Amino acid sequence: MEQETLGGALEREHRLIDGGIEAYLAGLDAGGSPKPLATALEGLRRHIYLEEQFLFPPLKAAGLMGPIFVMLREHGGLWDAMDAVESLQAGGADASALRASATELLAQLDRHNSKEEPILYTQADQILSAAAETELSDFLTTGTTPDGWVCSAASR
């Protein structure tokens, strides 16, 4: 059996996050639980943290500054979109507003992931040192986002 690459593990996280938002949307009109959304947003925040703290620095050092800059900017937009969905939910917004906000977040993720996966994840599998790859893999397995951490390009 072939071992999963780091890029493959990161892509799998993308699918889990997307799936959580999709499950939330599927149950929204039926009064479904907000838990899939909460889990997906927590996972997305953790995923952004691991990229900004563990993945992007060695890729930036290897010369991928332009793509990293784009990803950081998009992370800020994703963070703000997550905050918007949570704010609507906390404020008791109706299903239509929640659906629109969560659907926009999902669309942003699709645009982001369609660039990140073929460009950065492919390079990560080639560029990261064994030590950096181990550190990132360990975080994927057991790591958590520090309390209060906010991505570098978020509005708040």
Question: Is the pLDDT score of 137 beyond 70?
Answer: yes
In the chain, the percentage of residues whose pLDDT exceeds 90 is: 75
Q: What is the DSSP letter of 156?
A: -
* Rounded CA separation 154/156 (Å): 6
- Domain 6-142 fold is Four Helix Bundle (Hemerythrin (Met), subunit A) (1.20.120)
Q: Where are the domains of the chain?
A: 6-142
- Which pLDDT band holds residue 79 (cuts at 50, 70, 90)? very high
